[in-house]
Structure formats: C-alpha cells, structure tokens
Structure 1
Amino acid sequence: MTARLRGVLEGVLLGFPILVALAGPLVAGPVDAPLSGAAASPSLPPGGGHPLGTDVLGRDMLALVLRGGVSVLGTTAGALLLGYTAGVLLGLLAAGSRRPVDEAVMRTLDLLLAFPGLLLLVTLAATDRRQWYWLVAAAGLLQIPPIARLVRGAALAPASRTTVEALRMQGHRWAYIHLRHLAREVAAPIATDAGTRFSVVLYLLASANFLGLGLPSSSPDWAVLIERNSDAIFAQPAAVLVPAALLMSLCVGGNLLVDHALARRRLIP
C-alpha cells in the first residue's frame, strides 16, 4: 500500500465517524428534541422517509446515529485524559522516589490492576450510577495502573537513570528532572501505547454500553443502539450494522493514524 493511499484510508476511516459525531447533532437538532418519525412502526427497513429505517421503538435511526457519536468520543477522550494524567504522574513519582515510596505506589496500583473491571461497571450499574461522568471515571481509573507501570519502566531505564543522576549533581530540583526532562524521555513509549489504549478504552466503554452496564438504554450512543436493536438484526440490519461500522471505523482509523505517525518518526520499524 502506497503512503498516499494509506493516508487517504486513514483519513476516511478516522475522519468519517468523527465528522458524524461532531457535526451530527447540529444536523439532527437538539438532543432533547423529539425524534423525527417517533410515531413510526418499530424496526422498519430503510425507506419511507427514514433513510436508515427505524429502531425497535420506532425512532428514526438516522437521527439517532447522528446524535450518538458525541458520547462515544466524549467518554473515550475523557477516560484517556484521566488515565494518562494520573498514570504519568504516579509513574514518575514511583520512578523518582526512594524504594519505600516506590513500593507503596506500585503495590497500591497492583491492587487496582487486580480488581475486575467488569465488577466495577456492574457495581455502578447496580447503584444506578449510569451518568457519563461515572463511566469516564471508571474507565479512566482502570487505565491508571498499566500506564503508571509503563511510565515507571521507561523512567527507570539505564540511560534515564544516568541522566537523572547527572542532573541531580547539577542541583536541579525533582520537579525539573521528572516533570520536564523525564517526561520527554517517556513520551515515545506513551505515544506507542496511545493507539492501542485508545482501542482498549473504546472497546471497554462500548462493551459496557452493549451489556447494559453503561449509559441508560434511552441514550443514542452507538453501542447502546447495537444492544437495543440486536434482537431485530434480521428484520432491520441497518440499526445494528451502521453504528457497529462507525465504531469499527473509529477504532481501526485511530490505530492506523498512530502507527503511521510513529513510523514517520522512526519510533517503530
């Protein structure tokens, strides 16, 4: 595959679902407005004034799809921001501290790493905490331990330790050494991890919504639409295949973009 063709493929796969997510609500109207075709029959195939048909409740699928990408992008971005912010800081803290502090930080994170993520999502659903911010907090919390371990390992590399010792002998403070110098040293591993973790978080959040453990069933989120219409897939396949294709395109496009960017910087072969 030529570089030009690959660039076009990346742009289409990643750009189209993002465009739908960002511009969709503007085209479809306010989120709390009544959906067009609300009185239509359920699970109608495309046609008859409904380009993508209707869902199991008789709502216009096109309007739902146009509104559903905001929650997908918002929750994924929020969880990644939370995970990387806390994970990088804790990883640098562990790498730059004495052994007792390092052990305390890492063993605490090991406990969190061993905690079943599904159990956390089930607990939130059972206590009726289905708001988007609870979902973001749960997904972000689950990403902190692996990110912190990655950052700590990169910061403890022999080359990094030698440079840190030299900077300490020059009288530089902890904040300068770890938050400025080492942060640049661990940027490459973090960038390599970002593409895979984007897919992991997207998969986790979509799975939670698909299993009914995430957003309320009334949400137009793409994963929720798949779950709500899965029983009618043979009568109205567009209600499942269209949001599923958008999720898949977003995931694959993100991975291709990150891989291409890293390859150009010679961070990967």
Structure 2
Amino acid sequence: MMTRAGARPGRFMLALLILAVPVALALLGPLFAGGPGPRAPSFALGGGHWLGTDFVGRDTWRQVLLGGRSVVAVALVSTGLAYLVALPVGLTGALTHRVWLDELLMRPLDVLLAVPSLLLILLVACVVSPGAVGLALLVALVNVPDAARMVRATAAEAASRPAVEALRMQGESWWRMAIGYVGRSAARTLAADAGMRLTGVLHLVSTAAFLGVGVAPDAADWAVMVDRNRTGLFLQPWAVVVPALLIIALTMGSNLLFDAALEKPYRKRGIGCGHGR
C-alpha cells in the first residue's frame, strides 16, 4: 500500500520556503535598511533604487525592509494573547459541573462575538489612537470569543470520557485533568484552529493598518505601503505588489505549515496471511 510518509517532509519544506522570505525580511530587514537617504522620486527602476520609490520619494526596497516587523509582531502577539485568555476560559467551561459558572464565562463572550471585529476596532480608534500595542490588544480581544468557544467545544468531548471521571474520583488536580489529559486530547484540533486564526489575524491586522489604525499614515508598514501607493499602481507597481505578495506569503505559508504539522501519514500495511495483526 502506498505511503504518504514521504510527502510530509516535502510539505514542511514548501511551507518553510514560503515563510522564509517574509519572516526573514520582517526580522532582519531593519538591520540592513540603512539610512533614509535623500527623497527624490524615481518611479522607474535604477538610480540606486532597486524597486523604485514610493509616492513621496522614499526608496521602496528600504520601506519593504522596515515594514514587516510591525505586521508579523502584532499578528503573533495578538494570536498568543487570544489563546492565553481563551484556553483557561474554555477549559474551565468544559470541565466544570456548575452550569452557572459555564454561563458566567461564556455568555459575556457571546455579546462580544455579536459585534463585527473590524467595526469594534474602528469604533475604539474613533475614541483613542491605539498604536501598535493597542492594536495587538484589540485584535486579541475580538478573537477571544471564537477561540474560547473552540476550546470549550473541543475540550468538552474529551472531558466527557470515562478517563476524566476516573481522574476526578482519584482526586487528581484540575491542572492535571485539564492540561494533562483534556488539553493533550484537544491539541491537534486547537493547533489547526491556531493556524486558521493566525491567518485571520494577519488579515485583520493588515486591514486595520490599511485603514490607518494602529500605525502612522507614513509608517513603514507593508499594509500601509499597499494603501498609500495603490493610486499609482500602474505607474509604480512594485510599491504595491511586493508588500502585498509578502502578506500573502505569510498567510499561505502559515496555513501550509500547520497543515503539514498536523498531517497523519499513512503507514504501510501488509495484506494477506501473517500480516495486519
């Protein structure tokens, strides 16, 4: 029987190759960006500008080197913070036998879930300028309800098994039941959700930055570059296409990496006398 075990390293390598460019530029780009230099519009390639200049004469390549760290950092921090809150809330709701406690934990999240994520971020931005840290907190906040409900639904199935009741009767601690058994049983599903959620967070962070929330209008940011240079797309496409492709590579590579990590390769099974036992 054919095996898929050999396909798994290939998917990992493809995911890593896709992620390598945007992640490397985000982490190491500022170290090689150098000084701003004189602003002299030169939309065509050449003249010391590998990718031409943007709409105000800044070197596009330098803006690309500087613009990834904010997008990647905010997305990763937001996803991490969302799960930092969602995991204890969801696990507590799944393991408790007190209906009132489950309702107390989950019903307020339903109210927050009813408000569109981007709308909530824009409403807050109308009152106060959030900045990069504030944007990360806001994006984490709007992702907590979804993440908590996913954790609770996944953990509830594992929490209903006889093994959990046996652990409870043996006097095992809540931590051992929640993390040692239920959390480990739900790990694969939650890891898949984390991959999809990171993609959604990247989209939300980029959209917010595109609308000028969390970053300055002239900041070196990939989403801001797309927004500010889109009117000159046909005159200077690189200032729009390059940062857009880097954001796409981040989302595609992240999903592919999680898919490859969660893939269960088939093992060879013998068929016939003396095999398969």
Alignment TM-score, normalising by the size of structure 2: 0.88
Instruction: Give SS of 1:36's match.
Output: coil
Instruction: Please show how residues 29-178 of structure 1 align to structure 2 within 5 Å.
Output: 29=34, 34-37=35-38, 39-41=39-41, 44-97=43-96, 98-157=98-157, 160-178=160-178
5+ residue gaps, structure 2, are 267-277
Distance 2:78 2:122 in 1: 18
Q: Could you tell me how far 1:61 is from its partner in structure 2?
A: 0.7
Aligned partner of 1:209: which letter?
A
Q: Could you tell me how far 1:7 is from its partner in structure 2?
A: 4.1
Give per-residue Cα distances to partners, 1:135-179, cap 9 Å, x unaligned: 000111111111111111112116644222111100112232223
Is contact 1:92–1:178 with CA below 8 Å preserved after alignment?
yes
Give per-residue Cα distances to partners, 1:45-70, cap 9 Å, x unaligned: 22111001111111111111001110
Give per-residue Cα distances to partners, 1:25-64, cap 9 Å, x unaligned: 11014xxxx5124x212x6122111001111111111111
Worse overlay, 125-134 or 105-114: 125-134
> Which of 14, 27, 37 is equivalent to 1:22?
27
Distance 2:123 2:138 in 1: 10
Distance 2:253 2:179 in 1: 31
Q: Could you tell me how far 1:180 is from its partner in structure 2?
A: 3.1
Is contact 2:131–2:213 with CA below 8 Å preserved after alignment?
no
Cα 1:159–1:124, aligned 2, differ >3 Å: closer, same or farther?
Answer: closer
Is contact 2:26–2:67 with CA below 8 Å preserved after alignment?
yes
Flag as ranges the 4+ runs of structure 1 deviating above 6 A: none
> Does residue 236 of structure 1 match 2:236?
yes
> Does residue 210 of structure 1 match 2:172?
no
Distance 2:180 2:70 in 1: 33
> Does residue 225 of structure 1 match 2:230?
no
5+ residue gaps, structure 1, are none
Instruction: Give SS of 1:157's match.
Output: helix
Worse overlay, 197-206 or 212-221: 212-221
Instruction: Give SS of 1:54's match.
Output: coil
> Does residue 261 of structure 1 match 2:266?
no
Distance 2:154 2:10 in 1: 34
Instruction: Give SS of 1:156's match.
Output: helix
> Does residue 11 of structure 1 match 2:16?
yes
Instruction: Give SS of 1:16's match.
Output: helix
Q: Could you tell me how far 1:5 is from its partner in structure 2?
A: 5.1
Give per-residue Cα distances to partners, 1:223-265, cap 9 Å, x unaligned: 0110011111111100000000111111111111111111147
Cα 1:5–1:96, aligned 2, differ >3 Å: closer, same or farther?
Answer: closer
Worse overlay, 206-215 or 133-142: 206-215
Q: Could you tell me how far 1:197 is from its partner in structure 2?
A: 0.8
Aligned partner of 1:23: which letter?
L
Aligned partner of 1:18: which letter?
V
Aligned partner of 1:74: which letter?
A
Q: Could you tell me how far 1:130 is from its partner in structure 2?
A: 3.5
Partner residue in 2 for 1:195 = 195
Distance 1:5 1:105 in 2: 42
Worse overlay, 119-128 or 49-58: 119-128
Worse overlay, 231-240 or 117-126: 117-126
Distance 1:119 1:7 in 2: 36
Give per-residue Cα distances to partners, 1:193-220, cap 9 Å, x unaligned: 1111111000010011112233111211
Is contact 1:44–1:236 with CA below 8 Å preserved after alignment?
yes
Is contact 1:76–1:201 with CA below 8 Å preserved after alignment?
yes
